[in-house]
Every structure is written in structure tokens, then in C-alpha cells.
């Protein structure tokens, strides 16, 4: 299962934007900005790969697991725009999955660009709608 979260600093949470994969398992809708491994990714802006996350002292069962609370191998990838971490992608891996931190670093860069483009598109559509509404009001 792979999930994309974007930070809402006003609410102090990460909001689930999208999730895919995972047979039957679901990821959490919202996550606090701290504690846990999730928080470390936001603070450091670095990829974290933990094949046995439960052994990490920063691991938090209530945050660093899917909704079912079962700990799985994890790959965290920060989402950065202009050098600022705005969210993260976390992938729960199958036991023995062949993945490396370098894979996460490459994927994080690609995902950051994709999220940036998505946010720019959302902003553009909103601006176009505002301009269209202003034109309609100006004609009345």
C-alpha cells in the first residue's frame, strides 16, 4: 500500500490525499505531524527505509502503521517543493521486498515534482474559475 499525505500546519495534521494498493488494508485518514518515524521524515526531509520498523525507538504504533495497526516494512519519502517538506509518501512493503533507500530518493524527487504540478494545476483551475465568475458578475 502506498499513501500520499500533505501537511496542514494550521490543523497540525497530515491529510491523506491518495492511497493505492494493499489488499484489504487501509491507511489512516489523518496523521499528527509528530511523533514517530513519520515526524522524522517531515523534520529531516530524508528518505527512511525500515524493514523492521518496530525495532526503531521512534516507531509509534498509532502513527507508523496502517489502520489495522499491524507493523509492516516501511519506505517513507518526503514531498518537497522549493526545499520545503510539504508532505510525504509512505509505502508499506511486503516482507523481503527488494527495495533500497536510493530507490526511495529517486521516487521522492519524481513524486515531489508530480505533487507540485498537481498543486499548480489545482491553483490554475481555481484562478480560471474566479476570472470566469468575475466576468459573469461584470456583465450583469
pLDDT at 120: 73
Answer yes or no: is pLDDT of 97 > 80. no
DSSP secondary structure letters along 44-56 = H---EEESSGGGS
Query: What region does 25 belong to: left with phi over 0, alpha with psi -120 to 50, or beta?
Result: beta
pLDDT at 54: 94
pLDDT at 33: 87
CA atoms of 95 and 15, how far apart (whole Å): 27
DSSP secondary structure letters along 88-117 = EEEEEPPTT----HHHHHHHHHHHHHHHHH
Average pLDDT value for residue range 67-81: 89
Write down the mean pLDDT value for the chain. 84
Whole-structure pTM value: 0.76
In this structure, what C-alpha cell is assigned to residue 14?
497530515
User: Alpha carbon 80 to chain centroid distance?
Assistant: 10
Amino acid at each position: 500500500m502506498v499513501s500520499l499525505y500533505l501537511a496542514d500546519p494550521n490543523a497540525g495534521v497530515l491529510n491523506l490525499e491518495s492511497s493505492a494498493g494493499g489488499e484489504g488494508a487501509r491507511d489512516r485518514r489523518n496523521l499528527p505531524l509528530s511523533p514517530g518515524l513519520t515526524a522524522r521524515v517531515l523534520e529531516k526531509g530524508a528518505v527512511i527505509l525500515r524493514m523492521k520498523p518496530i525495532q526503531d525507538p521512534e516507531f509509534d504504533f498509532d502513527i507508523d502503521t496502517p489502520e489495522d495497526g499491524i507493523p509492516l516494512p516501511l519506505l517513507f519519502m518526503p514531498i518537497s517543493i522549493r526545499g520545503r517538506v510539504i508532505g510525504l509518501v509512505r509505502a508499506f512493503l511486503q516482507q523481503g521486498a527488494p527495495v533500497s533507500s536510493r530507490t526511495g530518493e529517486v521516487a521522492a524527487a519524481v513524486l515531489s515534482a508530480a505533487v507540485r504540478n498537481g498543486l499548480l494545476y489545482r491553483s490554475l483551475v481555481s484562478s480560471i474559475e474566479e476570472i470566469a465568475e468575475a466576468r459573469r458578475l461584470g456583465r450583469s
